[in-house]
Structure 1
Amino acid sequence: MILPKTGVGTFRLTGQTVIDSVKMALEMGYTTIDTAQIYGNEAEVGQAIQQSHISREKLFITTKIWTENLSAEKLIPSLKDSLQKLRTDAVNLTLIHWPAPKSGISVHDMMQNLLEAKKLGLTEYIGISNFNIELTQQAIDSVGAENIATSQIELSPYLQNEKLSQFLKSQQIDVTSYMTLAYGKVLNDPVLHSIAQQHEASTAQIALAWALQKGYAVIPSSTRREHLAANLKAADIQLSTEEMQLIAQLERNGREVNPSELAPEQWD
């Protein structure tokens, strides 16, 4: 896997809140930070990184191209703007944030535009986010699976996305899980709570441990030091085969994020 297994997400965090979150995470040993153009916090993330005085080569920074910037005319200038805000010459990973089938830009073209950014040295790796199998295949046909480092998709015990995950695995494309806690909905799950008690852990840690044990990278966000620390320690939890099977039974297609203008017309 190219990506470090556990990173810190910044979705919905802005201003001083995101600065404090990222600085705390870096102090605690996180090296991976996930942001996006649409989050409106790249400048604050860049500020937090600079204030942390951690050498750039020790960090793995991901950003995502917003749907308005997918064209050949806009993608590279928008990424250069992101780099300026992040105070770096290049990011480690740049993703197409949403396939936006109604944008009028084909998957082939947006991936070619992104590959050009990689060739220019603006990003070390490229990838996709929120693509179904059909659109992922189009991305592979455009730039080759070897040029798609990861697919970042919504995954949680309530949305296990097994068909898509298996397809990505077959193409040797790493999976990054976001919304792993389903907006907090899994935190009171009785099955996860029971497993958590066996491991003297929290339900959040069990959900993250499940994703990590499936081979996914995770990028949970938090504004609290104790939660950031707990999220990092989830990697130390080893779930039994029986526990993994119990979590597998929690699948209920519980998708939390599905904007009609941006998402695939049909999920797998």
Structure 2
Amino acid sequence: MKYIWLDWGYYLHASIYAWKNRKHIPATYTATTMILGDLRKIGVDEDDIIIIAVDKGHSWRKEVDKEYKSTRKAKREAQKEIPWKKMFESFNSLLDIFEAYTPFHIVALNNLEADDIISYGVRYFKDKDNIICSVDGDFEQLFALPNVKIFSPHSKRKCYKQPPKNPYKIIEKKIKKEVSDDLVSKVETEADYQRRFLIINLLKLPEDIEKRVEKQINFLPKKDWEIVKLPFPSIHQRFRDIYKKDKVVTFEQSMKKLERKKRRKKC
């Protein structure tokens, strides 16, 4: 048995932006097919636990640094052709359906991000293999844990990420990095350093946050499929197909693929 963690924010935003170029296809349909395709590449066994981790409300990190992710709202609002409110409502409905009629577990806690849920979850289930499905580079800190692999769902990768030689250096690099889309405030004093460290460190979260996540994930009951109640009848068979092994991309295959890419770049 292993735990598979899906970063909902990636699928939500990737499918919404894809909708801009093909408005006849619902973004929720695209997200669903993306998830099913990635699970098939990861390789799911019947006893695996699949958890969809969801951002909910304003992140607690904004209380630590009010500038945290402060540019995202403006960037989203600049995409005026996207009906954001309607989109978010449709994706919330999809989550409700997944929770009710699939074995997937939806975890969303007020003021917490998917990062919090996943980063504590892989440490809580330390005796089991954990696969994180996300493009978020922050998760690479968790390569410090021997039970963690990261599968990139990015359309140009679709394989496992290569662990860095020293995952702990990722935190240091992110602290020293002056600014980014998420980390707008500069680090100029010791207080700034400690604030940035608290925001980005996924190897240890504030105790109250870890307790909240633990309370949510310490009992994940076995759930059955009710496929006839799921949306998009044309892809109903694909839900059960996640257990097939014909499209699995192994960690070893991924490393070979990345090595070939490196060699091509050198040429």
Task: Say yes or no: TM over 0.5.
Answer: no
Larger radius of gyration: 2
Which of 1 and 2 has higher RCO (CA within 8 Å, sep 6+)? Answer: 2
TM-score (norm 2): 0.31
